[in-house]
Structure formats: structure tokens, C-alpha cells
Structure 1
Amino acid sequence: MNGTAPRFDARLILLAPEDNCLIAAALLPAGETVEIEGERVTLAKTIELGHKVARRALAKEEKVVRHGASIGHVSAPVRRGEHLHTHNLESDYLPTYTHDAGHEFVPHK
């Protein structure tokens, strides 16, 4: 990258250099154009404040890295600038209640 820092829209936050997702620092409406590493990308869907955006294209099953740590994997191919959320991102963490074999989870009422 010529030794220069990557350029991002001011409404997108890169938490760590190795991350392959960015965080929306504002509501980003569908049809809005943002800059991701010098490339202008038109958003297909509205992205809520605090939600993740793909920094680059991701292949199915590829790990999503946020703040330098894997937080899950994509369940389908994702394009640069696409919203990363429960519709295409699966957690690699097990719910804590499954760790106790033989104990059934009963939600509080």
C-alpha cells in the first residue's frame, strides 16, 4: 500500500489493522456511497450505527475479524461494503448454557 494509511469514509471505523470489517459510526442509508480503502462503494442496505461493514469481499466460511479477534464466520459470500450481521454472520461461540452437559437451559420469566 505504498506505506500510506488506508483511506476510509469518516463514518467508518477500523478498530485494528488486521480487521476485515469496519464499524459504522453513523446511520448509513441504503444507496449512500462510502469510501473503503480508496474505493467508492454504494451501500445496498441501510447499516445501523455500530453495525459491521465488510472491509473487503469475504468468501463463505471465512472468519470475520473485529478488533484483531475472530468473532465468527460468514455463511454466504459477502461483497466489500456489505452489511455483516446475523443474516450472513454466524458466531463461532457456543452459548454458555450448553457447556454444562445434562443441564437444560430455562429462561427467566
Structure 2
Amino acid sequence: MSNHKFLVHEDGDYVGVAVSDIKSGEEVMGVEIHSGKEYHVKANHDIPLGHKIALVDVKAGQSLIKYGENIGKVTQDFKVGDWVHTHNLKTARWDYGN
């Protein structure tokens, strides 16, 4: 039985999605849905259920890859283990321009 705290939709995604609340400082394991590949990350922030945890460092202005696709533009740098949400990401669902 797995004790994963987040899921990764596609190999190469920049984020995983919390399947339960994650506490700052907690060492958590996630799994990629298709392959079962494990990811191990130390959370830098509290990350609520359904929110994203960073799997790679990303700079402001870069695209964010989730589901194997560009889902938006990063508005503030973030590092592995950071909480990724509306404070540092503008989704492609909204017109984020250049």
C-alpha cells in the first residue's frame, strides 16, 4: 500500500497535485499515475489538498508543464518543494499574454 501525498499526471511535469494536505517541512512521496514512478520532495510550505507542489525549479516567465502540456505562465520563481498556485502562476485558462 502506497503512502503517497501527491500525484504526477505525466512524466516530465513540473508539479504534482496534493491528494492530502502537506505540511511545511514534511518529506513527501508522490507517484506518476501511469508508470508508478516515485518522486520524493521536502515541502517548503503548507500545501492544501488539490494544490500543486513543485518538482523542479522554475523561473518567472517560463511556462508551467502539467498533464504533459503548457498550462500557464510562472509569475514568480519557485523551487522544488514550493507551493504552486495563483500567487506564482497565471493559468493559460485566462489570457496571460506575453
Is this a same-fold pair by TM over 0.5? yes
Cα distance in 1 for residues equivalent to 2:16 and 2:39: 14
- TM-score scaled by length of structure 1: 0.67
Q: Which residue of 2 aligns with 1:30?
A: 24
Q: Which has the larger radius of gyration?
A: 1
Q: Runs in 1 of length 4+ with deviation above 6 angstroms?
A: none
Q: Which has the higher contact order (CA 8 A, sep 6+)?
A: 2
The runs of 5 or more residues in structure 2 that have no matched partner are: 31-37
Tell me the number of residue pairs that the alignment of Structure 1 and Structure 2 aligns: 86
Q: How far does the alpha carbon of each residue in 1:37-72 deviate from its partner, in whole angstroms, 9 at most, with x for none?
A: 66552x232111111111111111111111112111
Cα distance in 2 for residues equivalent to 1:39 and 1:32: 10
- TM-score scaled by length of structure 2: 0.74
The runs of 5 or more residues in structure 1 that have no matched partner are: 1-8, 96-109
1:89 matched to 2:89? The reply is: yes
Q: More strand by proportion, 1 or 2?
A: 2
Among all aligned residue pairs of Structure 1 and Structure 2, give the percentage whose two residues are the same amino acid.
26
